[in-house]
Amino acid sequence: MARSYIDHLITGSVELMSPWFSNTWELTAAGETLARMQRLGRIHVSTVHLPDGSRWLIEPAGTSTVRMLDGPDHEIARIVRRSWFGRRWEVSGGRFGYDLVSHPVPRRWRFEVGGSTIAELAGSPLSYNRVRVESMLALPLPALLLGWHVIARPWEAAAAPRGLVPAPRPKPDDPEVLR
């Protein structure tokens, strides 16, 4: 039986790190790996591998919507763009709901509840290859990872599923085409 996402809460200081031009990310706290993420660029999804053996999938679910799954069609969280320029997102799951809001300083974001900050994310001055997270209250790991996906891959998060990849051309003898 899969563990609940609520078993994976983040408090205090953590870091998301990736080498330059890499599709792999690692979430660490005090030298301990909390999660590894692998971005599959061609299909615009990311896989999350947790130390307990759990695997999650982050994928587009419509224009300006990204969801996290822990099994086939079992959604545990989603993030939806709430502003035209992508500076405000709503992240929610079965037992949580936050706003992810951009700070006026570049590469700075915060999770809010009712206008109060509960966690802050800060990229390096030039990139998001290193993101420091300071969480004042317990933040579910799915919320943090969906926030990471939105700030590190905003053009993917804003697109419709497969919107950036041409659809395969159907074959003329395909039974679906003949209907």
Residue 115 in any domain: the answer is yes
Residue 163 in any domain: the answer is yes
Residue 31 in any domain: the answer is yes
Task: Between 170 and 20, name the one with better pLDDT.
Answer: 20
Residue 105 in any domain: the answer is yes
Residue 1 in any domain: the answer is no
Residue 2 in any domain: the answer is no
Number of independent structural domains in the chain? 1
- Residue-wise pLDDT tens digits, 38-66: 988 667 788 999 999 989 999 888 788 89
pTM of the predicted model, to two decimals?
0.82
Ranges of beta strands (E only) in the chain are: 9-17, 24-29, 32-40, 45-49, 55-60, 65-69, 75-81, 88-93, 96-102, 108-113, 116-123, 130-140
Would you state the pLDDT for residue 134? 94
Domain that includes residue 143, residue range = 7-178
Q: Any idea what the CATH number is for the domain that residue 72 is in?
A: 2.40.160
